[in-house]
Structure 1
Amino acid sequence: MTTIFKNRLFWPALILVVMLGINAFTSNQFITIKDGHLFGSLIDILRGSAPLILVALGMTLVIATGGIDLSVGSVMAISGAVACLLISDLDNQNSLSGVFIAIGAAILVSLAAGLWNGTLVAVVGIQPIIATLILMVAGRGLAQLFTEGQIINVQSGPYSALASGFFLTLPIALLIAAAAVGLTVLLTRRTALGLLLESVGGSPTASRLAGIGARRITIMTYVVAGAFAGLAGLIASADIKSADSISAGNLIELDAILAVVIGGTALIGGRFSIIGTVLGAVIIQTLRVTVVAIGIPAEANLLFKSVVVVALCLSQSPEFRAKVFGRFKSRPAAEKVGVPA
């Protein structure tokens, strides 16, 4: 039992269960079946978590190598802008081939954005926070250039299905995120890739001396982060059936970093946890829904969110737990020998 309490994911998982319990109590329909599909508050939370899960997955891999990616929100905006722009030019916006071409083009642009970041960091040698800050600013400007500063609306059933469609009773957006998680876990935990990522993040110099292609691995992580951010941008734009290059993905990089931290990944690089990141992303989305469910004013949402995140981070700190719980454990022993506690 003590081992369970010491697990870094125990307290985040407990907080998630508590918040889901609150939603189950306050929601009229927590989970139900309607028209052959799963509906309810729980499904809305999981579906709403999909873009953040995708972005946080890429962020986890980047942070594992000792980097950071502040441009994921802008890449989301670019991806949505490219897809919606191409779909809006179609004679038939419900054409599957046309929609697939638009999605493919958006993903290619996202991959190129990730390659740009990776090249600046691994080849040119620019600090990750500066290299990705460049695309964070320029990328959103590029998205606005694509859309000419306008919101591009689309009326495409196949495209909107990315966010609102169902397959095998489950939301397609959730299935996309689950597939990305499964593939990432498979590659990082069933092959040597995970160990290589941790070695590059732990000590880039030592990994290079050991013959590990640190530059290639670093570039690869930024490319994957770009691809996942592009997918998230497609889901986000499909959800509102339009491309809003100004607000799309705005500040999602901060939520992604929070999800990574909650999941127990070390921000200095090295140790990382994919499952922990997914748990962190779902917690953040559940927190958004729970705040509304319990009637907290919208003005206090961010403050409430910050308090919960701080509490989660403190609960995961071995030093903090040792100081707090160790103090309570020492009192009975002190009282037995007559020493004031």
Structure 2
Amino acid sequence: MKRVKAMLQHPLVWPAFTLVLLCLLDLSQNRHFLSVTMLDGHLFGAPIDILNRAAPLVLVSLGMTLVIATRGIDISVGAVVAIAGATAASLLADDPSRVGAALLAAVGVGVLAGMWNGLLVAFVGMQPIIATLILMVAGRGVAQLLTGGQIIPIDAAGYLAVGGGYLARVPCSVWVAIAAVAVTALLMNRTALGLFIRAIGINPVATRLVGLRSAAIVFGVYTFSGLTAALAGILISSNVRSADGNNAGLLLELDAILAVTLGGTSLLGGRFSLAGTVLGALIIQTLTYTTYSIGVPPEATLVVKAAVVLVVSVIQSATARAVLGKQMRRLFPSHRAKSLSEVA
């Protein structure tokens, strides 16, 4: 019983359980849901589609995870996605052969956007939500200025291969997300950087007093968030073969925050889980797929998503489980009820 209780208290159990439930629901609606076949020389099927479409969210959520771990927030990532895509499309519209320059420019504007947020938060001392709100509003305007308020089509084959191509029969976007997760995990787990970020989230004043350059680390975290958002912007614009300054990345920051919290990262800072973030992003994308597969009207999709997130968050709450256990003991004052409450 103690082993079961310890397993249920693991932060990744409930996100994984939620993802499995969603997959089972999809499987009940479509018995071929988990089928993966070969089509035109690459893998094809619902799992591949979910992984492909979840890749940009995974990238954005990685940066958001580290920002939230330092007690911050970055609500400008959706705008940065739009700016990156618009920058690349603008360059490619003049010369489709400048794929390398377009990729570097898109990444560059994302890094600059992250540095701007980091400057305001780490060195100016502005509240993170206010600092990133400024770029969220201004950045969307910049993206629309770059595109002239129009949707710019992209015809450069090299650029389109990044988000819409395949490598070893798997979508390139999935490989980009895997590489980003691997590099981030190595930095967080194999260097002292992860420990420093956790320390800043737990007590930023103490870390500064002991001589840790917390401002520089916070600045770097926001820069990294801008970088991952730019990579997501490249994948999205490449996948849809166009750049839309108005709708690209719209509300993506909210999905990223949901993915991070579903994965067990604390909004109070000091605790984060990259594996949980990846699970959270997969939950969000699978949930989107599920709502369409079971026939939920598009206008009700956000309501269903919010309801599922609420349920999962309540289940993850130790306080909620304690209250539930207390009510179970009142309703069923028996040894069985007691055992259930201990598991909860």
Q: Contact conserved, 1:31 with 1:41, CA < 8 A, in 2? A: yes
Show the counterpart of 2:290. 290
Show the counterpart of 1:211. 211
Aligned length: 331
Show the counterpart of 2:146. 146
3-state SS, counterpart of residue 332 of structure 1: coil
Q: Contact conserved, 1:53 with 1:278, CA < 8 A, in 2? A: yes
- One-letter amino acid of the structure 1 residue matched with residue 123 of structure 2: V
| Mapping 1:1-341, distance limit 5 Å | 1-27=4-30, 28=32, 30-90=35-95, 93=96, 95=97, 98-329=98-329, 331-333=332-334
Cα distance in 2 for partners of 1:42, 1:11 equals 20
Q: Contact conserved, 1:66 with 1:269, CA < 8 A, in 2? A: yes
Cα distance in 2 for partners of 1:277, 1:228 equals 14
User: Structure 1 residue 329: deviation in Å?
Assistant: 4.3
Tell me how large the CA RMSD over aligned residues is: 1.6
Cα distance in 2 for partners of 1:218, 1:334 equals 50
Q: Contact conserved, 1:23 with 1:41, CA < 8 A, in 2? A: no
Unpaired stretches in structure 2, ≥5 consecutive residues: 338-344
User: Structure 1 residue 6: deviation in Å?
Assistant: 1.6
Q: Contact conserved, 1:161 with 1:238, CA < 8 A, in 2? A: yes
Percent identity between the two aligned chains: 50
- One-letter amino acid of the structure 2 residue matched with residue 102 of structure 1: A
Cα distance in 1 for partners of 2:38, 2:27 equals 15
Cα distance in 1 for partners of 2:166, 2:235 equals 13
- One-letter amino acid of the structure 1 residue matched with residue 52 of structure 2: R
Cα distance in 2 for partners of 1:14, 1:136 equals 34
Cα distance in 1 for partners of 2:16, 2:171 equals 23
Show the counterpart of 1:339. none
User: Structure 1 residue 335: deviation in Å?
Assistant: 11
1:193-217: CA deviations, max 9, x gaps? 1110011111111001111110100
Cα distance in 1 for partners of 2:161, 2:18 equals 32
User: Structure 1 residue 229: deviation in Å?
Assistant: 0.1
Runs of 4+ aligned structure 1 residues displaced above 4 Å come to none
User: Structure 1 residue 326: deviation in Å?
Assistant: 3.8
Cα distance in 2 for partners of 1:265, 1:335 equals 33
Cα distance in 2 for partners of 1:21, 1:99 equals 41
User: Structure 1 residue 321: deviation in Å?
Assistant: 0.8
Q: Contact conserved, 1:107 with 1:231, CA < 8 A, in 2? A: yes
- One-letter amino acid of the structure 2 residue matched with residue 142 of structure 1: V
